[in-house]
Amino acid sequence: MEDPAKIIIIDDNPDYLFTMETFLKRNGYETLTAEDGQKGIDLIEKEHPDLILLDVMMESIYSGLDVCKKVRTNPDLKDIPIIGVSGMGDELGVRLEKWGDEDYFKVDEFFEKPVDKEKLLPKIKELLEEGLIKKGKAVRIGGKLYPKK
């Protein structure tokens, strides 16, 4: 059996970390957590996860923006899919499209808090599959994913 995909959750809210960790573990993923941007960066560099779930508006000095920049400018890490999460949305004009202008701030998907977990799961699955294809570990044939030998 394949190893479960490794997801790093970075958020400055410990309650969120615990509930999201519980949720993802119960859905078959291996999870690691970090409660601020700096710890998140260290963990990503050490663990090379398959996906990052990142609070983009942490109230810590190293924000989600810094984490994203670090990942996207590191050739070893730049292809790791990132799902950005934030409680700030339209009301402050904070939108994914706006951040997309910054070359270093490219999240693959954005979810507003409270995160709709029913929508999150299929998105994680899709991004993990794309990640495998990018890494050359799998191919998609007729809509189905096959591991590459």
Partner 1 sequence: MEPKEGLIDRPDNSGIIVDLGFRTILDLLPCYLSIQNRSLQILFTNENFRKDFGEGVGKLCHMAYKRSSEICKSCPVQKSFKDRKVHISEEDVQLSNGKTAQLVVYSAPILDVSGNVSAVIEMSTNITQVKEIQKELAFLGQSLAILSHDIKNILEGLQGGVYVVDEGIKDGNMELAGKGWDIVKRNIGEISTIAQNILYSSKKRDPKYQKVSPEEMVKDVVGLFLEKSMALGIQLKHRSNPALPVMNLDPTNIRRMLHNLIWNALEACKKDKEKHTHAVVVRSDFHDRFHFKFEVEDNGVGMDEDAQENIFKEFFSTKGSEGTGLGLLVVDKIVKEHGGWVEVLTAPGKGTTFRVILRMG
Footprint on this chain of partner 1 (rule: CB under 8 A): 13, 15-16, 18-20, 22-23, 26, 38, 56-57, 60-61, 63, 65, 87-89, 91-92, 94, 98-99, 112-115, 117
What does the alpha-carbon distance between residue 44 and residue 40 come to, in Å, rounded to a whole number?
A: 6
We find the least distance from the C-beta atom of residue 136 to partner 1, in angstroms, to be 34
Judge contact between 71 and 34, C-beta under 8 A: no
What are the Cα distances from residue 105, in Å, to 63, 135, 142, 146? 12, 21, 32, 31
**Shortest Cβ 18–partner 1 spacing (Å):** 7
Residues 103 and 92: their CA atoms lie apart, in Å, by 21
| Closest CB to partner 1 among residues 64, 81 | 64
Nearer to partner 1, 5 or 115 (CB): 115
> Closest CB to partner 1 among 16 and 131?
16
